[in-house]
C-alpha cells in the first residue's frame, strides 16, 4: 500500500482508499458478491426478491401517471443480478417495458464489466453522473448502496468534538487516533445539523450528497427513490463501523484493500435530512413487512408447486433468509422517498 505525502487520513478518506483506490481498492479489483466471495446480497439469495422489486416499480410507475418515458436507475448494481431479474419480469408488461429507459450508476470498472456481461442482451446505459440524466421522471432503486460509502466519525467530550483518523506511518501497524474538529464548520458544509442531541456522530458525507442530489431530481422531475439497506432507527447515533471478509467479521486495519468496510444506516437521520427538503416525504418499513405486503409468500407458493421436496425446501429456505426477523427481515429496512403529493404506499 502506497500513500503520497500523508502518513495519516481521516476515517472517510481511509475507507475510500481501502475500497475505491484504482489499484488497491476492494471494489475496484474483485467481485465480492456470491458464495465464494465475501458476502451475499438479497438478489443473489433468491430471485423472489428482485421479482417483488419489479412488481413494486410497475405499481409506483402507475402512481406517477404511467409516463410514456421514464428512467429506471439502479445505484450500485453489484453483479447485475437484480437488474437482470427485474428486466425478465418486465417482459410480461410490454407497454411498461417500452416506456422504460434503463440506467446503472456504478463506480467500479470491474463490476461494470461483470454487469455488462450479464446484461449483454439489454439496452442499458451506464451513467457516471446521476445529475446528467435527462428530465424524464426517474425511479431510483438501490440495494445495499449507501452502506458501501465512506463514513466520518466524531466523538464529543466535554463540549468539544474530535474526529477519528487513521495513522499509517507504519503500514504494517496502522492505528486509530483523534483530532479536534469544528463541528459547526462541518454542519455548514453538509447543510444539516447532524450533531444536534448527539454525543457521537457517524455519517457518510457522500451518502448525504447522493441523497440531496436524488431528492432534487425527484422534486424537479417527479419520481422516487426506493432503497434497501441494513440499519437502525434509534435517535442516538452509534458506532457501527465494521469489516467483512469471507462472510465473517474482520479487522478494519488489517488486510487493507482486501476486506469490505461498511456501516449500518441511521434511518432516523435520513428521515430528518429528507424532511428539511421541502416538498418530499419518506416512508419506512422493515424488509420483512415490505416483501410480505408485496406478496412474496404467495409467489413462493406458486413457483414451488409441482417441485420435488429438495427444490421446494430450497425456495423456502431462501425465503426465510429474506424475511425472518433473526436474519434479514428486521435488520434490513426499506425507505421510499417521493413527492409529498404522491400518496403511494404499496409495501409500506
Q: Which residues pair with 224 in a beta bridge?
A: 139, 338
- The cell for 255 is 488486510
- The cell for 38 is 465475501
Burial state string for 183-211 with b = 16 or more CB within 10 A and e = fewer than 16: beebeeeeebebbeebeebbbbeebbebb
Q: Given this model, what pLDDT does residue 250 score? A: 86
- In this prediction, residue 310 has a pLDDT band, given cuts at 50, 70 and 90, of very high
The domain made up of 28-149+202-339 has a fold known as Rossmann fold (3.40.50)
Q: Given this model, what pLDDT does residue 39 score? A: 57
Q: Given this model, what pLDDT does residue 171 score? A: 76
**155-178 average pLDDT score:** 92
| DSSP-assigned letter for residue 148 | G
C-alpha–C-alpha distance, residues 50 and 44, integer Å? 9
Q: What digits encode the pLDDT tens for the residues 239-271?
A: 999 998 876 788 889 888 888 899 999 999 999
**307-322 average pLDDT score:** 92
**148-174 average pLDDT score:** 92
Residue 63 has pLDDT above 70, yes or no: yes
Q: Can you tell me whether residue 99 is helix, strand or coil?
A: helix
**21-25 average pLDDT score:** 83
Q: Can you tell me whether residue 281 is helix, strand or coil?
A: strand
**Residue whose entry in the numeric block shows the C-alpha cell 412488481:** 55
Amino acid at each position: 500500500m502506497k500513500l503520497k505525502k500523508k502518513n495519516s487520513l481521516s476515517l472517510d478518506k481511509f475507507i475510500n482508499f481501502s475500497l475505491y483506490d484504482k489499484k488497491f481498492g476492494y471494489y475496484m479489483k474483485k467481485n465480492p458478491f456470491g458464495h465464494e466471495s465475501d458476502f451475499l446480497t438479497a438478489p443473489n439469495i433468491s430471485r423472489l426478491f428482485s421479482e417483488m422489486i419489479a412488481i413494486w416499480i410497475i405499481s409506483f410507475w402507475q402512481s406517477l401517471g404511467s409516463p410514456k418515458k421514464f428512467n429506471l436507475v439502479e445505484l450500485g448494481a453489484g453483479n447485475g443480478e437484480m437488474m437482470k431479474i427485474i428486466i425478465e419480469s418486465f417482459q410480461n408488461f410490454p407497454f411498461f417495458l417500452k416506456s422504460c429507459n434503463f440506467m446503472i450508476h456504478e463506480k467500479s470498472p470491474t463490476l461494470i464489466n461483470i454487469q455488462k456481461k450479464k446484461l449483454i442482451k439489454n439496452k442499458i446505459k451506464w451513467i457516471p453522473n446521476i445529475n446528467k440524466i435527462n428530465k424524464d421522471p426517474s425511479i431510483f432503486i438501490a440495494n445495499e448502496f449507501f452502506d458501501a460509502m465512506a463514513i466520518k466519525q466524531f466523538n464529543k467530550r466535554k463540549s468539544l468534538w474530535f474526529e477519528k483518523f487513521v495513522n499509517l506511518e507504519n503500514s504494517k501497524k496502522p492505528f486509530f487516533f483523534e483530532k479536534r474538529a469544528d463541528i459547526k464548520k462541518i454542519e455548514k458544509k453538509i447543510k444539516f445539523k447532524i450533531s444536534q442531541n448527539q454525543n457521537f456522530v457517524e455519517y457518510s458525507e457522500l451518502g448525504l450528497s447522493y441523497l440531496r442530489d436524488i431528492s432534487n431530481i425527484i422534486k424537479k422531475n417527479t419520481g422516487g427513490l426506493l432503497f434497501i439497506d441494513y440499519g437502525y432507527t434509534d435517535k442516538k447515533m452509534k458506532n457501527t463501523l465494521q469489516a467483512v471478509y469471507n462472510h465473517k467479521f474482520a479487522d478494519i486495519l488489517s488486510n487493507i484493500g482486501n476486506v469490505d468496510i461498511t456501516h449500518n444506516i441511521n434511518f432516523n437521520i435520513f428521515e430528518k435530512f429528507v424532511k428539511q427538503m421541502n416538498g418530499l416525504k419518506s416512508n419506512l418499513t422493515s424488509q420483512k413487512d415490505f416483501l410480505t405486503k408485496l406478496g412474496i409468500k404467495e409467489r413462493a407458493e406458486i413457483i414451488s408447486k409441482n417441485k420435488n421436496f429438495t427444490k421446494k425446501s430450497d425456495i423456502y429456505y431462501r425465503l426465510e433468509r429474506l424475511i425472518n426477523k433473526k436474519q434479514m427481515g428486521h435488520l434490513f429496512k426499506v425507505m421510499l422517498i417521493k413527492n409529498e403529493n404522491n400518496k403511494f404506499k404499496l409495501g409500506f
